[in-house]
A and B are shown apart, each in its own frame.
Chain A
Amino acid sequence: MKKIIQGLRDAKLKTHLIVFFAVMVSSLGLYFAAQNGSNGIMWGLLLVVVFGNLLALVV
């Protein structure tokens, strides 16, 4: 686990790029999922946002 986190920190710019775009795309996806009432997709996209922020937290 430590190795993975260190690897992410070493590639901080790339990690932040991925986090940023993942959160942005998921947030847009959440809008359309909510419009369609797709609870499963909403949970999935919300998890992506949470995971993205967890990544930002550790790097």
Chain B
Amino acid sequence: MFWLAITPIGVILVLMVGLRWGASRAGAAGYLSALAIAIAFFGARLELLAYTHAKALLLIIDVLLIIWTAFFLYRVADEAGAIRVIGQSLPHLTADRGMQALVIGWVFGSFLQGVGGFGVPMAVIAPLLVGLGFSPLSAVVIPSVGHSWAITFGSLGSSFNALMAATGYSWEELAAPAALFLGVAGLGVGFVVAHAAGGWAAVRRLSGTVLILGGAMGTGQYLAATSGLWNIGGFIGGLTGLVVGFPLARWHRGDTEDNGSLDWHALLTAISGYAALVVLTLCIQLIPIIHDTLDKYRFTLNFPRLVTTLGHTTPAGPGREIPLFRHASMILLVSALIAYLIYHRAGWYKDGAFLRIVSGTLKRVITSSVGITAMVSMAVLMQHVGMTDALAQGLSTAMGRAFPALSPWMGALGAFMTGSNTNSNVVFAALQMRTAELLGFPVAIILAAQTSGAALGSVIAPTKIVVGASTGGMAGREGEIMRKMLLYIGILILLISFLATIGVML
């Protein structure tokens, strides 16, 4: 049963890594194989299949709404040129090569991941670094590794939301360990970025700066995530880094006397679109009357007890609840509209901008939505027919007490094969949860290891490497990037393994 249960995951792995298929095609193949195996070998009946698809639908809506609106907000800012303004302002702060790598590749990369994600940090930063004189390899590696620690709470929390949706655990249980693991990983990322920019000499020279910036960003993300602001955790971390990084960059301004001048008015206008998101999120999450009023309207479907012909049972109960007006996507949508008005009033849009924003968003999200739909359906089906249980039992027997150390590697593998932290959480989180339960490990720690490993592993996914290579002028040299990044990311995942092993002992 273990080998049958692992087949759909194996199908996705082979198709995406071996044959380089996209997530939409490979996800569909994984779903179809899971459906066939569920019917033929795990006793899935028609009624169970029908309810399972409806349960998956709720998760799909929950996950995709955030992805769509997060990218919409990014397009609103990008079409106005706000991202370019922020990016071009940063090199003026310092001429120190190592400091430029830290502020642009790490801090600004994390900020971009917080507000956008979806490969945006690499696409925006790699050409910027090439323009500043970095080698193409460093220009791709620095932002790729630099934003990795901010992925789970970045993209307006879409990966973290998927983790909660796939496991049923709340943010109160998951946010603290996940933010802690990722915060520590973030410090490691800072050292890696310094090393990629200037070798061990840069690491020694900038170690104090890395500790200050990493500490500030990690603390910002931790405090936001554990206060219920998990959807802007990555954003707050990145923003904290920018605020702290500006004076630090001036301190490390380098040999050049004149680093150019900053257009503060343009910079503040560019950032103001995102300020709307922060203000709105803080108001909704922290003012009880607004929070409670918006929280009243929730959508869900109720499901009966589901039993396979082999006797695997899922108890009756509601599916994923979607708070209609307090959902992160609603906050994002309103923020995007406010940001649009701000940039419009500033005269930053050309004719037809709104149409380009909408069509650009649609083009970008629809293919990944098909992939996520298939993978979520596959994961929910596997859970309800006992395939996830069969996998968990096999893994718990094979891994035993070493499971916490291996857990982040599983998350990373999932992200490597699916190209995303969100997808890895959708496919593997329930499996990690069941294995942890069977072995008696604290589930929150294991899920934190899963999503941390997935965040770090996602940046070495072939799909992301291709994006980085094409924007950094290294198309056709993806192997070089992969080799360099495997070592860096391997060390960072090892760090998470260590933290997870310690975490389950406490």
Q: Count A-B contacts at CB 8 Å.
A: 82
Note all chain A residues with C-beta closer than 8 A to B51. 30-31, 34
What 10 pairs between A and B have smallest CB-CB spacing? A31-B54, A34-B50, A30-B50, A56-B28, A27-B57, A53-B28, A27-B53, A57-B28, A30-B53, A16-B370
A16–B24 touching, CB < 8 Å: yes
B158 within 8 A of A: no
Does B163 lie at the interface of the complex (its beta carbon under 8 Å from any beta carbon of A)?
A: no
> Taking the complex as formed, is B1 at the interface, i.e. its CB lies under 8 A from any CB of chain A?
no
Q: How far is the CB of B286 from chain A (nearest CB, A)?
A: 34
- Interface residue stretch chosen among B29-37, B266-274, B276-284, B482-490: B29-37
Q: Does A5 contact B (CB under 8 A)?
A: no
Whether A33 contacts B369 by the Cβ 8 Å rule is no
**Bound state CA distance, A33 and B53, in angstroms?**
12
**Residue A24 contacts which of B27, B32, B47, B60 (CB distance < 8 angstroms)?**
B60
- Within 8 Å of chain B (Cβ to Cβ): is A11? no
B interface, size bucket: 20 to 34
CA distance A16 to B53 in the complex (A): 19
Known: A23-B373, A27-B57, A28-B54. A57 touches B363 (CB 8 A): no
Interface code B47-78, partner A: CB below 8 Å = 1, 0 otherwise?
10111011011001000000000000000000
Q: For A58, give the chain B residue with the smallest CB separation.
A: B25
Main secondary structure of the interface of A (DSSP, over half): helix
- Report chain A residues within 8 Å CB of B50: 30-31, 33-34, 42, 45-46
Of B32, B49, B50, B51, most A-chain CB atoms within 10 Å: B50
Partner of A42, one of B46, B56, B366, B371: B46
Cα A54 to Cα B366 with chains together (Å): 17
Q: Would you list which residues of chain B between 347 and 367 have a CB under 8 Å from chain A?
A: 362-363, 366-367
In Å, the complex CA distance between A3 and B65 comes to 35
Judge if B374 is at the interface, Cβ distance under 8 Å.
yes
What B residues does A50 contact at CB under 8 A? 32, 35
Partner of A53 from B32, B60, B301 at Cβ < 8 Å? B32
Shortest Cβ gap from B421 to chain A (Å): 21
* Interchain CB contact (< 8 A) of B54 among A13, A16, A30, A37: A30
- Looking at chain B's contact residues, the main secondary structure is helix
Contact of A16 with B367 at beta-carbon distance under 8 Å, contacts A24-B57, A54-B32, A56-B28 already known:
yes
Residues in A whose Cβ lies below 8 Å from that of B46: 39, 42-43, 46
B266 smallest CB distance to A (angstroms): 34
Structural contact, A53 and B47, CB atoms closer than 8 A? no
Cα A17 to Cα B53 in complex, Å, equals: 19
**Residues of chain B with a CB closer than 8 A to A33's CB:** 50
**6 A-B pairs in the complex with CB atoms less than 8 angstroms apart:** A17-B366, A27-B53, A42-B47, A43-B46, A56-B370, A56-B374
Select one of A17, A20, A34, A56 contacting B25, CB under 8 A: A56
Cross-chain contact B27 with A56 (CB below 8 angstroms) = yes
Q: How far is the CA of A26 from the CA of B49 in the complex (A)?
A: 12
Contacting pair A19 B56 (CB below 8 A):
no
In the docked arrangement, what's the CA distance between A27 and B377, Å? 10
A6 to chain B, nearest CB (A): 15
Q: 18 other contacts beyond A30-B53, A31-B53, A46-B50, with CB at 8 A cut-off?
A: A16-B366, A24-B57, A26-B53, A27-B53, A27-B57, A30-B54, A31-B57, A34-B50, A42-B46, A49-B377, A50-B35, A53-B28, A53-B374, A56-B27, A56-B374, A57-B28, A57-B32, A58-B25
